[in-house]
Amino acid sequence: MPYRVCFVCTGNICRSPMAESVFRAHVAEAGLDGLVMVDSAGTGGWHEGHGADPRTVSVLETNGYESDHTARQFQVSWFSGINLVIALDSSHLKALRRLAPTPADAEKVQLLRSYDPAARHDLDVPDPYYGDLDGFEECLELVEAASPGLLAAVQEDVEGQAA
């Protein structure tokens, strides 16, 4: 059974699909394609069925990442099939931990920037939705900075499962 990682933001059209695309590229580069499944969702269903925000798509494509995305809302029932739920900010972290049916499920929820050794106090990835393209570029920088640390943690877990 593959190791599953789900990135979660508010509407699943900006931050979480960006993190999904970037992390999927890291997983592929590490040769973990069949072992690690990556997806994303939102805490709310406002944008369900829509594609990623055009600014997200633009920033991803400009930086060499693929973007094929359909927004959806995170479901409580998913906890049983997911190994790691990655929240993009502290409000998502709190909401997802409240939704978790068990303490073990609540422990699966972590902040993305907690995997960035350079991140100190503010572990939130700011929501770029109401701003201009610069906010989306900043979002990408923060996601890229945290991805190697997250990949290392996932690799360790995958290897632990195989042992």
Which residues participate in catalysis according to the annotation?
9, 15, 127
Taking residue 161's Cβ as centre, other Cβ atoms within 10 Å add up to: 12
- To the nearest 10°, the Cα dihedral for 25, 129, 55, 121? -40
- The whole-angstrom distance between residue 116's C-alpha and the CA centroid of its chain comes to 14
Q: Cα–Cα distances in Å, from 141 out to 25, 33, 73, 137, 146? A: 15, 23, 25, 6, 9
Mind giving me the DSSP string for 93-132? HHHHHHH-SSHHHHHTEEEGGGG-TT--S-------TTS-
- Distance from C-alpha of 84 to C-alpha of 139, rounded to nearest angstrom: 21
